[in-house]
Structure 1
């Protein structure tokens, strides 16, 4: 039984903007690209949802 088994493990950040990439392997870089692409898709979907809500609100208040 190891002494340090009960210590909580720190969750590594998958990517930090501006981080030094020179020490990462090709696999790690590929994984991070996938993570960032997924995040971009998530952000774009949220932007579309907010734009739809904004357009609906503008249409409602433009009624004359």
Structure 2
């Protein structure tokens, strides 16, 4: 497995990339239609992240069932 394929560990409070940039962006220049489109895009991304989190959680439970709980 290449290092690029491995999940990256993040420290609490660590920058989450594009999400951090979006959270601080001014919305003043957006039209109502642009805001609506942004909401749809963000809701779609939230659903994608939740689905991935569910898969990762299932993977972790399967690993714990096989190898025992993680330590540390």
What is the TM-score with the length of structure 1 in the denominator?
0.68
Relative CO higher for 1 or 2, CA cutoff 8 Å, sep ≥ 6? 1
Instruction: Give the equivalent residue in structure 2 for 1:40.
Output: 46
Structure 1 segments (4+ residues) deviating >6 Å = none
Instruction: Give the equivalent residue in structure 2 for 1:57.
Output: 63
Segments of structure 1 that go 5 or more residues without pairing to the other structure are 1-14
* CA–CA separation in structure 1 for the residues paired with 2:67 and 2:49: 27
Q: How far is the alpha carbon of 1:27 from its aligned partner?
A: 0.3
Segments of structure 2 that go 5 or more residues without pairing to the other structure are 1-20
Instruction: Give the secondary-structure state (helix, strand or coil) at the position aligned to 1:16.
Output: helix
Aligned-CA RMSD value: 1.5
Which one has the largest radius of gyration? 1
Which structure shows the higher helix fraction?
2
